[in-house]
């Protein structure tokens, strides 16, 4: 992600050399605020790099490396926004920006203050130990709190300044390695070429949510599902079915989506049930929050089939 954003920033700079415009007082103030944020981000990156150099390996180093990547992404996003304002460039696919949301920024700022207290407490606890298992666990706890603060800061910058919002992927837990999360905007098309084709793909499997569960495993948060797939439109027995599981509200508005593969045989007219599959929960992603907080009765599901492998060896793919 860091390298991609750096390339974007470089391309913008090269394309806009000599094209700076006169900034309004409002734009000058925004650039100044962004430069202050940039200086703070650079200091944070430097401090984290020094901390990262103290470890040669292990989980703590992995946690620090993850935070370092987030901080470097923050730095690149701020630089990108400054270049866009100073050049007067229109926002394009290379410089995708979101609208500033000052109300959300204020909320995130309050969360950052709370998180900073957690970081201080965790680091004070870690400083009480000189080694051993308890000491290692305390250091890991402090690193985890630091990572949460870095992610909160990233979302704060996005909300306050309308920065380009990085895609935050989520991973599936081991129990459901066949699934991977994608946001409705990033990885799941809202419409297929024709309404008829879309309806056909969504009527092959009728989906029922049997159970939803929020759980913690191995220091990670997950949302698990038990789901029934009823093959009401399947023309012959399938060996595997690949597609997108779509979650909507009661009005049919898409709220969340998962790439999903049914890897067990599905017979015509026989419901197939899968239990304990889901995704790693990220509290900073709104779609994740919706899935966790929405009442099960207020959630509707549908499955958009992408391709089918039949038990007789034939296959069928649908056009995207």
Structure confidence by residue, pLDDT tens digits, 27-41? 888 888 888 988 988
Output the CA torsion sign for 227, 188, 153, 5. Answer: positive
**pLDDT, greater one: 247 or 4:** 247
Residue 185, φ and ψ in degrees, nearest 5: -80, -30
Q: Check residue 100 and give its pLDDT.
A: 73
- And the tokens for 253? 């508005």
Position 237 scores a pLDDT of 93
Average pLDDT, the chain: 77
Highest mean pLDDT among 132-136, 155-159, 212-216: 212-216
Q: Chain centroid to CA 76: how far? A: 18
C-alpha 119/C-alpha 144 separation (Å) is 9
- Do 223 and 285 contact (CB within 8 A), yes or no? no
- Residue 98's pLDDT band, with cuts at 50, 70 and 90, is low
Rg over CA atoms, the chain: 23
d(C-alpha 291, C-alpha 202), whole Å: 21
* Cβ neighbours of residue 46 closer than 8 Å, sequence gap 6 or more: none
Provide, rounded to the nearest whole percent, the portion of the chain with pLDDT above 90.
27
Least confident of 79-83, 205-209, 225-229: 79-83
Angstrom distance (rounded) from CA 199 to CA 175: 31
- Do 82 and 31 form a contact (C-beta atoms < 8 A)? yes
Q: What mean pLDDT is predicted for residues 43-48?
A: 89
Give the C-alpha separation, 157 to 144, whole Å.
20
């Amino acid at each position: 992600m860091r390298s991609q954003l750096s390339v974007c920033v470089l391309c913008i700079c090269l394309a806009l050399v000599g094209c700076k415009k006169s900034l309004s007082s409002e734009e000058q103030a925004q650039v100044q605020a962004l430069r202050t944020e940039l200086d703070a981000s650079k200091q944070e990156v430097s401090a984290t790099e020094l901390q990262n150099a103290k470890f040669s390996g292990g989980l703590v180093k992995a946690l620090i490396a993850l935070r370092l990547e987030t901080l470097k992404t923050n730095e690149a996003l701020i630089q990108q926004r400054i270049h866009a304002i100073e050049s007067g460039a229109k926002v394009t696919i290379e410089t995708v920006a979101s609208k500033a949301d000052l109300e959300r920024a204020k909320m995130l700022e309050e969360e950052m203050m709370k998180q900073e207290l957690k970081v201080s407490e965790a680091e004070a606890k870690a400083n009480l130990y000189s080694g051993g298992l308890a000491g290692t666990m305390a250091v890991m706890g402090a690193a985890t709190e630091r990572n949460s603060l870095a992610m909160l800061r990233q979302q704060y910058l996005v909300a306050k300044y309308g920065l380009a919002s990085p895609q935050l992927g989520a991973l599936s837990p081991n129990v459901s390695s066949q699934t991977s999360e994608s946001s409705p905007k990033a990885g799941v098309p809202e419409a297929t070429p024709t309404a008829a084709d879309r309806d056909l793909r969504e009527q092959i499997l009728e989906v029922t949510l049997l159970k939803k569960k929020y759980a913690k495993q191995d220091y990670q948060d997950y949302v698990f599902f038990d789901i029934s797939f009823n093959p009401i439109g399947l023309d012959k027995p399938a060996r595997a079915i690949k597609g997108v599981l779509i979650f909507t509200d009661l009005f049919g508005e898409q709220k969340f989506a998962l790439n999903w593969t049914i890897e067990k045989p599905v017979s015509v007219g026989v419901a197939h049930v899968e239990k304990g599959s889901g995704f790693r929960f990220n509290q900073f992603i709104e779609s994740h929050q919706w899935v966790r907080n929405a009442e099960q009765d207020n959630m509707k599901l549908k499955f958009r089939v992408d391709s089918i492998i039949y038990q007789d060896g034939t296959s069928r793919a649908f056009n995207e």
